[in-house]
Structures are given as structure tokens and as C-alpha cells.
């Protein structure tokens, strides 16, 4: 198993600040103002920076984005190092007229403006879309919030976890006799970030035809709710509420996770008939493959308890290595439930370069998720890790591409 720690001599640590490798990716030339904080809004900026956009991160003076204080290592901001990668940081107090004037100067040249404050905040600062548009009609403004810019809940405080609950996402995760389960990462924020990244690029495409920018209202709960297709259709057509089913699944069987003889968690799934037939043959030979209780997906779902007992006993009686070989030989869909240590030592991750090493002034080499997806002709890049607060003030405010006239 790979050692997750690094040791560095003094000469390994970068001392030169603001090292600026050339940007790469399909979004070269796109200029983005990231005025959000924590995860959902800023993560959109991170995706765009990975893909080549010039992203300016606006932060509160002295405090910075609160994510700088989360996931710290010896007081240093581990989470920020990845979430803030590829962005240039400027500290502006948007409560102050002078700093708002600086922001408005940058708005003139921006393509995209991202914010994720509670609705009404930008209006109180005099930075709503009509004001921004008055100096840059081509500006695309993405407004990310928990409940959206309208509706009775619009002013409610919200984070990814709340969006997950309100959308129904959490209601189908976990076991029926226990509370709903929330993942260990704020997936509601990340669902919103993926939706937001797609939205601003769709708006950029439309702007090529119209020449006009637009305001986009993204509610995190709606980004989560959009994924709840089967839950919605089932209630609409059958009046049935899909509940929590542990590691099973309401519409496909077999699906589940069981413990191996050597203590690892092992998942099996068979979403198509041929894969299910191969799994039954692999587990129980011709007799199980011909068992009428499991002949179709509908029958397997109806007899899930009996089938799960058979699969649990089979997984429990084999080591992880044995199961891996058997499933590979039988062309069965499976996966060992990986943790970070498993990921860092896995040959497939290594062969594809799914983990990239980036030099950081504080930590030296830092390993983090590589740029996704993989653009064949215009690959993106991680230019640097999240930098110190306000590190790029002079760099940006003296950059003619930002301080010149809009477009």
C-alpha cells in the first residue's frame, strides 16, 4: 500500500511565488470572475480553470474563502490547495465602495461572473445583474444558491447537505431502519458545480449567436432533484415512494455490497440480462443460472432477499483476490470498495494518470485528481495549487487583458 505522506528537504520546496506555467485547454481566452465561497460556486471556477480559462478568485480581505480553514493540515489549507488550483486571488471587500469599483473595472472585461451568496446579497451591494450588464452587456452571470433566486425559501441558509435533503436525494440513501445517509463529501455542492459549469458554457455558445449575456439562476436543490428521475416518475405514475434499500436497488437485481473472507467490501451489479446470467453462472453454475426465480430482472427484484443471501454467502466464502480472479474470468461486473489508500496504489489509476502531482510552495509535491475529462486535441492543465490570499493583486490589476475595454 502506498504511503500517503511525503517527506521533503528544503530544496524540494518551491520558494518562487506566482510561478505561471502557460495555460492549456479548450477555454483559453475565457475570462472568469469567481466571487463565490466554499464549494458549489468556486468549484465551477475550478473546472473552468482546469480547462484553460483565466479565473480571478475574489476573496474577503484578511479572511479569504472559508474553505481555506477546512481540511487543514498543521494549519495549512489542504482543501483549498485543490479547490483553488489554477486561480488568481485578489482580496476585495465588497462592502466598500472603492473595492466594488475595482470589481466593476474587472467586470468590463469578464466573460463569466460566478457568485453563490444568499439571494439579495448582490443587490444590497449594488452588484446585481442589471448593474453588471450596464458595463458589459455580454456578461454571463451565474447565481448559485440553495433554493434559487425566487420562491418562499429563497433567503434560507443552505449548504450541499441541505440541498441533498430537500431534493429527496438523501431519502433514498441508507437502510430503511436507520436515518438517511449523507455522503462524506458535499455531493449536493458538486452536483451543482457540474450543472453550473455546463450552464455557463451553454450560455457562451448561445452568446456567439446573439452577442448577449444572460443571468442564470441555479438552485442546488434543483441540481440534485434533476437526478431523481426514477423517484419522481414512480411517485407520479404509481403513487409509490421509493425508500432506502441499503446497498440494494429498487429496479435492478442483483445489486449489493458484501464483505469478503479477508474483510474487504465487494460490490456486484448486473444491470443487463447477459451480465446477470453470467453472474449467476459464475456464482452457482448451471443450476443457479436456470433457477426460475431469477430468470428475469423483474423476478430477481421480486426474489431479491433470496438472491442476496446466495450472493452474500458466496462473497463471504472467498478472499478479495479470489473474487477478483473469478469475476475477471467470468466477465462479471464487480468492484472492490476503494478508499484513498487503495486508489493511490491502484495500477489503473497510475496507468491513466488519474492522479497528478503538482508542486506547491508549502507542501512541495502534492498529489490530486487530474483534469477531467481528457480533451484529445486541447488538454487542460493544473497550472498551480491554490495560492495565498491576494497573491495576484498586482498581477491582475496590471494585466491589460483585464483592465482594458470590454471585449
pLDDT digits (tens, 9 = 90+) for 83-134: 999 999 999 999 999 999 999 999 999 999 999 999 999 999 999 999 999 9
Boundaries of every domain in the chain: 10-227+349-403, 255-259+265-336
Q: Is the pLDDT of residue 12 over 80?
A: no
Q: How confident is the model at residue 334 (pLDDT cuts 50, 70, 90)?
A: very high
Q: What is the pLDDT of residue 184?
A: 85
Q: How confident is the model at residue 406 (pLDDT cuts 50, 70, 90)?
A: very low
Q: Is the pLDDT of residue 19 over 60?
A: no
Q: How confident is the model at residue 4 (pLDDT cuts 50, 70, 90)?
A: very low
What is the spatial distance between Cα 33 and Cα 396, in angstroms, rounded to a whole number? Answer: 11
What is the spatial distance between Cα 68 and Cα 386, in angstroms, rounded to a whole number? Answer: 9
Residue 43's SS3 state is helix
Q: Is the peptide bond before 373 cis (omega within 30 degrees of 0)?
A: yes
CB-CB contact of 135 with 108 (8 Å): yes
Task: Show Cβ contacts of residue 177 under 8 Å, excluding neighbours closer than 6 positions.
Answer: none
Catalytic residues: 189
Name the DSSP class of 369. E
Residue 140 phi, psi dihedral angles, 5° rounding: -105, 120
CA 216 to chain centre: 19
Question: Which CATH code, of 2.40.40.20, 3.40.50.10540, 1.10.150.20, 3.40.50.300, is assigned to 10-227+349-403?
Answer: 3.40.50.10540
Closest listed residue to residue 292, CA positions, set 311, 306, 308: 306
Amino acid at each position: 500500500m502506498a504511503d500517503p505522506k511525503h517527506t521533503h528537504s528544503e530544496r524540494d520546496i518551491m520558494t518562487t511565488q506566482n510561478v505561471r506555467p502557460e495555460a492549456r485547454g479548450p477555454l483559453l481566452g475565457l475570462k472568469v470572475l469567481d466571487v463565490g465561497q466554499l464549494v458549489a460556486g468556486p468549484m465551477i471556477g475550478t473546472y473552468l480553470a482546469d480547462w484553460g480559462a483565466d479565473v480571478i478568485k475574489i476573496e474577503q480581505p484578511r479572511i479569504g474563502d472559508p474553505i481555506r480553514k477546512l481540511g487543514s493540515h498543521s494549519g495549512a489549507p489542504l482543501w483549498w490547495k485543490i479547490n483553488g488550483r489554477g486561480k488568481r486571488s485578489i482580496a476585495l471587500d465588497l462592502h466598500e465602495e472603492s473595492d466594488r469599483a475595482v470589481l466593476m473595472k474587472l467586470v468590463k472585461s469578464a466573460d463569466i461572473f460566478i457568485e453563490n451568496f444568499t439571494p439579495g446579497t448582490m443587490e444590497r451591494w449594488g452588484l446585481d445583474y442589471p448593474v453588471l450588464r450596464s458595463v458589459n452587456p455580454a456578461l454571463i452571470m451565474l447565481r448559485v444558491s440553495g433554493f434559487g433566486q425566487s420562491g418562499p425559501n429563497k433567503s434560507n441558509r443552505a449548504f450541499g447537505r441541505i440541498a441533498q435533503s430537500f431534493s429527496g436525494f438523501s431519502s433514498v440513501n441508507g437502510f430503511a431502519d436507520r436515518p438517511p445517509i449523507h455522503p462524506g463529501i458535499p455531493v449536493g455542492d458538486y452536483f451543482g458545480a457540474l450543472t453550473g459549469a455546463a450552464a455557463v458554457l451553454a450560455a457562451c455558445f448561445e452568446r456567439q449567436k446573439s452577442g448577449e449575456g444572460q443571468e442564470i439562476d441555479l438552485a442546488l436543490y434543483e441540481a440534485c432533484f434533476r437526478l431523481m428521475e426514477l423517484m419522481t416518475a414512480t411517485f407520479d405514475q404509481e403513487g409509490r415512494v421509493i425508500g432506502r434499500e441499503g446497498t440494494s436497488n429498487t429496479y435492478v437485481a442483483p445489486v449489493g455490497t458484501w464483505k469478503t473472507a479477508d474483510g474487504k467490501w465487494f460490490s456486484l451489479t448486473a444491470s443487463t440480462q447477459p451480465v446477470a446470467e453470467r453472474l449467476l453462472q459464475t456464482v452457482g453454475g448451471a443450476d443457479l443460472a436456470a433457477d426460475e426465480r431469477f430468470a428475469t430482472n423483474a423476478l430477481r427484484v421480486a426474489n431479491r432477499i433470496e438472491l442476496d443471501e446466495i450472493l452474500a454467502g458466496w462473497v463471504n466464502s472467498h478472499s478479495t483476490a479470489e473474487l477478483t480472479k473469478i469475476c475477471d474470468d467470468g466477465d462479471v461486473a464487480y468492484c472492490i470498495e476503494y478508499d484513498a489508500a487503495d486508489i493511490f496504489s491502484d495500477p489503473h489509476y497510475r496507468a491513466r494518470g488519474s492522479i497528478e502531482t503538482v508542486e506547491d510552495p508549502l507542501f512541495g509535491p502534492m498529489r490530486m485528481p487530474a483534469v477531467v475529462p481528457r480533451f484529445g486535441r486541447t488538454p487542460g492543465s493544473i497550472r498551480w495549487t491554490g495560492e495565498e490570499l491576494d497573491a495576484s493583486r498586482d498581477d491582475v490589476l496590471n494585466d491589460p487583458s483585464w483592465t482594458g475595454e470590454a471585449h
